[in-house]
């Protein structure tokens, strides 16, 4: 009889543990958001570098990563970042010493942590300022 009670208590504990861990595993944490940002350069425009930055709550900008043009063959730039959906980012860079128009964006529409996510930008869509 004691053995049956012990087994029943063990099974109930295992069931409660499974339910508890399943619920906690599914809860999302903002730091777990991950996205690949791809910048395509289909026309092979000469790019010196592309910088990705974050706009801080106080309005200041901080560069979080830089990719040099010749490091990936100059036709694709790639950033892999963790983010929060309410964070604002920017991309900027230079082409032959001329500034590329900065691009500002947020991640409000990217909130799926269960599947890989990608965001694409095209260099051809950016304005390159004349010096």
pTM tops 0.85: no
% of the chain with per-residue pLDDT over 90: 8
3-state secondary structure the chain: CHHHHHHHHHHHHHHHHHHHHHHHHHCCCHHHEEEEEEEECCCCCCCCEEEEEEECCCCCEEEEEEEEHHHCCCCEEEEEEEECCCCEEEEEEEECCEEEEEEEEECCCCCCCCCCCEEEEEHHHCCECCC
pLDDT, one tens digit per residue, over 96-113 is 888 888 889 888 777 766
CATH (residue range 31-125): 2.60.40.780
Domain residue spans in the chain?
A: 31-125
Per-residue confidence band for 63, with pLDDT thresholds at 50, 70 and 90: very high
Per-residue confidence band for 28, with pLDDT thresholds at 50, 70 and 90: very low
């Amino acid at each position: 009889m004691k053995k049956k009670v012990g087994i029943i208590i063990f099974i109930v504990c295992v069931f409660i543990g499974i339910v508890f861990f399943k619920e906690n595993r599914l809860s999302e944490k903002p730091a777990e958001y991950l996205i690949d940002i791809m910048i395509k350069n289909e026309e092979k425009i000469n790019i010196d570098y592309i910088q990705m930055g974050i706009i801080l709550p106080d309005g200041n900008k901080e560069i979080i990563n830089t990719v040099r043009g010749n490091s990936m063959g100059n036709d694709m730039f790639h950033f892999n970042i963790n983010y929060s959906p309410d964070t604002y980012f920017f991309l900027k860079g230079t082409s032959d010493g001329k500034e590329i128009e900065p691009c500002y964006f947020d991640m409000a529409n990217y909130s799926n942590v269960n599947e890989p996510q990608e965001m694409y930008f095209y260099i051809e869509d950016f304005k390159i300022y004349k010096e």
